[in-house]
């Protein structure tokens, strides 16, 4: 048996300088660096969060502006054709030239107004007086009113197209007025006007919870989702503009005052950030103001995005930044502490390594000593096995000598007889004598060869061994003691060859010892009566059991615990060393098997040798 011991030694210097704690400045520098980095990270995160939010709000606001701009323009374009149709109608021209009655024109205007969904459709003469109107039957009829002061009339009577948003002078209801001139013989004789109610847009904006407003070119808000914002200006208006608006009666009796707007700052994308103080619900809120020009109408559309979420996002960014700063401070403290702990640990490891090195060397010495002891024990055990074999051969020597001497004596007789037969020229009889001599020589040679093999030392290598061959060899060695009339040998062989994992010579030694013990036990108990030895084998899963039974006196139950102990024997003094069963038991255990005394219901003793089953050499399962 060979063992390899690998020695990994860790060496270190025994002289280590005393460790001193790091100076306070190192702690302060690391903590200051962590605070600075954390603060920069917090500022950067806050700015990045703000910019991302403004980009998102800007995208949403731009999309909403386009949507609401299209709805405002669509509301105007829906009725843009109507004044033109009225101005081109023949009956309208005949009324303005005094060739048609007013009632028919009123009915026609009413039908067009009802069909189109316009608020009011009416006709004015060249002086600005309303001659016919779709609301001629209503208390607030426009007929007879003069609107020459309205810019939409002045634009149309001068041959152009007019459009003007104002509060109705008669109804007090705001609306968009679109006008076209009525031409007769290349001369403007009247003006066709349609009034569009745009309050539905305000209702839609209010229901949607949006903050939308529309201002004219003077900066006056006339459409808004918030009624409190209407008829206020986005900035202060000079006196000349106010006088003009009053003369035009554009917003009726409403007093135009600046909307209370607090300028906050400009967003990173260039939009105004304002705070409106005209509503209690919006008092503490900031808004991002988006705007888009409505060029066809000479208006400006505004959309206000609520920036309340920005406050919460910046607070979250600040909180994350503070946590990051604290985490950096904590990490820096941990780094310093771990650095100190590592140095202390290195010092302890160095000292511990020295002790371990000495222990390691001592352990190696003990392992070497144990290996030498085990090798000596193994050699002693092998020598004991060899000595036991030689002792067994010594005990069987008388029988073996008798087994060999008989053929030798017979060969002398047959040799002399063969000479006489040759002298008599009886070659046939001489040949028969020579054949008998040759058979006896082969028998003696077989006995001697097997005795030499049995007496030799084993190679201590386990291989697949066929049981019947080993058993026949054991019987050949014991043949002098087996060839007696009072012994019946019952060997129950199987049709198939059975193989076990063992060393052939040592397995033969076990069988010789067990059969000799059976013979000795039967001869000592009753040397006269008929004796019987029964040998058979059984295979159970991956184990093979070899049974050897005799009809001797058996083993005393008090002796069973010691039957395999070295030097234990029940034979008379001088007839045994008490090593046979002990050596056989050790060999069986070395094979990975077992040797045991089995309870026998009949007389005598039953031994069971258990070994691992093996496949035949050269088979696919080998």
Task: Taking the CA atoms of 358, 360, 363 and 367 in sequence, report the sign of the dihedral they define.
Answer: negative
Give the tens place of pLDDT for each residue, 341-395: 777 888 888 888 888 888 888 889 889 888 888 777 766 666 666 666 566 555 5
CA distance 53 to 310: 7
- Dump pLDDT digits (tens) for 425-437: 777 877 777 776 7
**Per-run averaged pLDDT (10 residues), the chain, 622 residues:** 40 44 67 80 76 75 83 86 90 86 90 90 92 90 90 91 84 87 92 89 84 88 85 85 83 81 72 69 69 84 79 74 80 77 83 88 88 75 62 56 62 74 77 72 66 61 85 80 79 84 84 84 74 88 89 78 73 62 83 86 83 79 56
pTM given for the model: 0.46
The stretches of 424-574 forming alpha helices (DSSP H) are 427-455, 467-477, 479-482, 504-525
Indicate if 459-622 has the same CATH topology as 82-197.
no
Measured distance CA(594)–CA(245) in Å, rounded: 123
**Cα dihedral 424/427/432/438 (nearest 10):** 100
Question: Do 517 and 581 form a contact (C-beta atoms < 8 A)?
Answer: yes
Q: Does domain 459-622 have CATH number 3.30.565.10?
A: yes
CA gap 277, 259 in Å, rounded: 8
| HSE-CB of 82 using CA atoms within 13 angstroms | 29
Q: Please tell me the CATH code under which domain 82-197 is placed.
A: 3.30.450.20
Domain ranges of the chain: 82-197, 200-306, 396-456, 459-622
pLDDT value for 121: 94
Q: Nearest Cα to 386, choosing from 506, 507, 563?
A: 506
Looking at 3.30.2350.10, 3.50.50.60, 3.30.2310.20, 3.30.450.20, the CATH number of the domain 200-306 comes to 3.30.450.20
C-alpha distances out from residue 10 to 349, 350, 351, 359, 379, Å: 10, 9, 11, 12, 36
Three-state SS for 310-364 is HHHHHHHHHHHHHHHHHHHHHHHHHHHHHHHHHHHHHHHHHHHHHHHHHHHHHHH
């Amino acid at each position: 048996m060979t063992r390899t011991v690998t020695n990994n030694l860790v060496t270190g210097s025994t002289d280590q300088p005393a460790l001193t704690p790091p100076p306070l400045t190192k702690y302060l520098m690391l903590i200051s660096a962590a605070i600075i980095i954390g603060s920069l990270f917090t500022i950067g995160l806050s700015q990045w969060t703000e910019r991302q939010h403004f980009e998102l709000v800007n995208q949403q606001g731009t999309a909403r502006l386009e949507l609401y701009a299209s709805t405002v323009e669509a509301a105007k374009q829906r009725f843009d054709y109507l004044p033109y149709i009225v101005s081109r109608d023949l009956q309208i021209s005949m009324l303005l030239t005094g060739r048609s009655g007013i009632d028919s024109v009123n009915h026609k205007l009413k039908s067009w107004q009802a069909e189109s969904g316009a608020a009011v459709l009416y006709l004015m003469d060249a002086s600005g007086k309303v001659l016919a109107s779709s609301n001629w039957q209503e208390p607030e009829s426009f007929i007879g009113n003069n609107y020459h002061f309205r810019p939409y009339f002045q634009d149309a009577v001068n041959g152009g197209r007019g459009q003007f948003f104002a509060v109705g002078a008669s109804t007090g209801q705001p609306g968009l007025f679109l006008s076209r001139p009525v031409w007769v013989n290349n001369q403007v004789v009247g003006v066709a006007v349609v009034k569009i109610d745009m309050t539905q847009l305000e209702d839609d904006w209010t229901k949607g919870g949006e903050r939308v407003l529309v201002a004219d070119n003077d900066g006056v808000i006339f459409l808004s989702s918030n009624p409190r914002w209407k008829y206020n200006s986005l900035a202060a208006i000079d006196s000349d503009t106010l006088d003009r608006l009053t003369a035009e009666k554009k917003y009726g009796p409403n007093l135009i005052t600046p909307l209370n707007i607090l300028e906050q700052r400009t967003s990173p994308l260039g939009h105004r950030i304002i705070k409106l103080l005209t509503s209690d619900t919006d008092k503490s809120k900031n808004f991002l103001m988006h705007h888009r020009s409505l060029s066809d109408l000479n208006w400006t559309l505004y959309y206000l995005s609520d920036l309340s979420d920005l406050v919460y996002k910046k607070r979250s960014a600040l909180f994350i930044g503070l946590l990051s700063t604290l985490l950096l401070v904590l990490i820096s403290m941990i780094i310093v502490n771990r650095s100190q702990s590592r140095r202390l640990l290195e010092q302890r490891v160095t000292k511990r390594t020295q002790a371990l090195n000495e222990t390691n060397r001592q352990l190696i010495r003990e392992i070497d000593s144990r290996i030498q002891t085990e090798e000596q024990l193994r050699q002693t055990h092998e020598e004991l096995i060899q000595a036991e074999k030689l002792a067994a051969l010594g005990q069987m020597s008388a029988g073996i000598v008798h087994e060999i001497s008989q053929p030798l004596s017979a060969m002398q007789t047959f040799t002399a007889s063969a000479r006489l037969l040759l002298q008599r020229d009886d070659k046939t009889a001489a040949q028969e004598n020579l054949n008998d001599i040759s058979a006896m020589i082969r028998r003696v040679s077989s006995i001697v060869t097997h005795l030499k093999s049995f007496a030799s030392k084993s190679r201590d290598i386990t291989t697949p061994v066929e049981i019947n061959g080993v058993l026949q060899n054991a019987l050949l060695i014991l043949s002098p003691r087996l060839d007696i009339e009072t012994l019946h040998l019952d060997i129950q062989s199987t049709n198939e060859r059975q193989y076990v994992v063992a060393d052939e010579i040592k397995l033969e030694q076990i069988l010789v010892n067990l059969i000799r013990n059976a013979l000795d036990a039967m001869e000592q108990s009753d040397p006269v009566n008929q004796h019987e030895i029964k040998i058979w084998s059984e295979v159970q899963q991956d184990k093979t059991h070899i049974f050897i039974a005799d009809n001797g006196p058996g083993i005393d139950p008090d002796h069973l615990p010691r039957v395999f102990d070295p030097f234990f024997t029940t034979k008379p003094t001088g007839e045994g060393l008490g090593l046979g069963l002990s050596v056989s038991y050790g060999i069986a255990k070395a094979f990975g098997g077992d040797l045991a005394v089995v309870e026998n219901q009949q007389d005598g003793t039953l031994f069971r040798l258990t070994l691992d089953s093996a496949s035949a050499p050269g088979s696919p399962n080998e």
